[in-house]
Amino acid sequence: MAHGTPDYGVTSGGSTVYQLTDVGELAARLGSPITHDRRGDVIWWEDFECGPSRWSLTPVGVNSSVALSTSRARNGRSSMQLRPGDAINDSAEILHNHLFPVLSRIGFEASFSNGDTNMDLEFRLTLFDGVNVRRYWINVRPALGIQYRNAAGAYVTVATFPLTLSGHATLFNTVKLVADAVNGRYHRLIFNETTYDLSAFTPETAASAQSPILRLQVVETTLAVTPTGAFIDDIILTQNEPA
């Protein structure tokens, strides 16, 4: 017995298949790393499968390194390992400058596999508009919690961790910060399965003659000697994030 609609119809029936009408789902099934939170329009992303050429790498301290690694990966075979130097407060950083976007709600997502609980791991979304700089910065400190950088340039705790984050090699945690660049405010923060409302808070703002750019940074600072370093993967930049 005939059933459904013609073959060219999006609701055509089938006894063993189900129709796929969401192109975002199609992209995810074909291997896109953009699967944790699919809101917003993707304007740039990095999975480190083609090396670190789109980043400036800054290791600080004795034995510090910033290098591509195949030891861990969220998707594909590669990630970027940030290994600060052996002394407390040494750091390792990756930095990418992007063209200044049309202002909207802007998303910055990244995933990390932490190798050491004695670290600060900062995710920095910075907007230079030619007159001012706004710093939308988030800090993850496993021993303390998640913090945002406030208008005074101080870190304020958003949430504390009930347990130490797992250092298992196959587990990547995901952070997504959404900034309201139109109104100059934070908007929301997603950490794994939990969403935090940051819309009441404003970022640190200062005068800057830097030409208009959007800057993404991930910076690990060690709080103990001889760190193991974090692995960073699947960095995603979006615009037009919904409310």
Residue 223 lies in a domain: yes
- When mean pLDDT is compared across 20-24, 55-59, 179-183, the lowest value belongs to 20-24
Quote the radius of gyration of the chain (alpha carbons, Å). Answer: 20
Q: What is the pLDDT of residues 42-62, one digit of tens each?
A: 999 999 999 999 999 999 999
Domain-located, residue 29? no
Shortest CA distance to 121 belongs to which of 73, 177, 184?
Answer: 177
pLDDT of residue 177: 98
Q: What is the pLDDT of residue 121?
A: 94
Residue 113 inside a domain? The answer is: yes
What local confidence, expressed as pLDDT, does residue 161 receive? Answer: 76
Is residue 31 included in any domain, yes or no? Answer: no
DSSP per residue over 8-70, as a string? TSTT---SS------HHHHHHHTT-S--S---SEEEEEE-STT-STTSEEEEESTT-EEEEES
In a domain, 129, yes or no: yes
Model pTM score: 0.88
Q: Per DSSP, what are the bridge partners of residue 122? A: 139, 219
Query: Can you give the pLDDT at residue 28?
Result: 75
3-state secondary structure of 182: coil
**Assigned domain for 9 exists:** no
- Retrieve residue 132's tokens: 């001012």
Which residue segment(s) compose the domain that 157 sits in? 38-239
Give the model's pLDDT for residue 143.
Answer: 78
205 falls within a domain: yes
Is 30 a member of any domain?
Answer: no
The CATH number covering residue 206 comes to 2.60.120.200
Count structural domains, the chain: 1
